[in-house]
Amino acid sequence: MNNYIEKEIGAADGLRLYTRDYRGGDPAKRPILCLSGLTRNSQDFENIADHLHSLGHRVVTLDYRGRGKSEYDANWENYNPTVYVSDIFNVASALGLHNCHLIGTSLGGLLSMAMCVVSPGLVHSVILNDVGPDLDETGVEKIIAYTGDGESVADLEGAVQKLKKHYKDEHGFVDADWHRIAKKTYRLEKGRYVPSWDVKIADSLRQSAANDQKQDLWPYFYALAERPVLLIRGQASSVFNRETYLRMLERLPHITGIEVKDVGHAPTLDEEDVRQAVLNFISA
């Protein structure tokens, strides 16, 4: 039996967004809003959401447009941070969320920073998982290549091989780990396994790169200045370099950090030391 209620919430343009709402628990405890990485979805947070819910927290996860069970957008140009922020605001408003802990992995971390600017009443504190204001260009190129790879495969083992092709140098996973991730990021369609995201997301990324639309993200990071922040970095990350990690730790008054050995982009949050750091941070 699932601990969550599945809901579909309308975006500003009417597109339907899938959410999981782990309701109940202690109303005195802050709700937690989890925001996933670029091609990922609400399933990424299943384990930690179950655990946090068991401790009395309401936990909400969602699939961005074009991911998981949310609707795909007919206009790929809408796959951009401004629209994602609007979507998150709509979900939070519909569910009555405010003063939350935000857990943001990769893209979700950048969107968490933006939410502090757009909707400061939503955000009490932020956990940034393997992301910062400066993104490594090599890592970004790898993400674009993976995001645009829409080739179907015959079985989950084929999906595992595709994951390993792009990310095996960043993770010391055993086969069971790779299969678990493949199940969360690929789905069976007409007898073949396909990505559980719209590969046209890559078109938006390529357009931004071609137009040199590189935005200074440090002001968004500084918007966290009055909030508690936990910074998580995979030591082998190709996206989030250590120089940026250390610089971030120096710049805010209420920030702490943890690096995860033998893990790249991005930690799953199921690592024992990461799980404990998250629990300590949320309970502080």
Supply the pLDDT for residue 212. 60
What is the predicted pLDDT for the residue at 146?
87
Kindly give the interhelix angle for 156-167 and 175-185, rounded to the nearest 10 degrees.
100
Q: Report pLDDT for 99.
A: 96
Nearest to 232 by CA among 273, 172, 283, 201: 273
This prediction's pTM: 0.95
Please give the pLDDT value at position 104.
98
* Size of the chain in residues: 284
Q: Which domains does the chain have, with CATH numbers?
A: 5-135+216-283 (3.40.50.1820)
CA dihedral in degrees (230, 234, 240, 241; nearest 10)?
A: 110
pLDDT value of position 102? 98
3-state secondary structure of 240: coil
Return the pLDDT at 218. 96
Which parts of the chain sit beneath pLDDT 50? none
Q: Which amino acid is at 220?
A: Y
Contact 108, 42 (CB under 8 A): no
Q: Which residues of 28-47 are buried (b: 16+ CB within 10 A; e: fewer)?
A: eebbbbbbbbbbbbbbbbbe
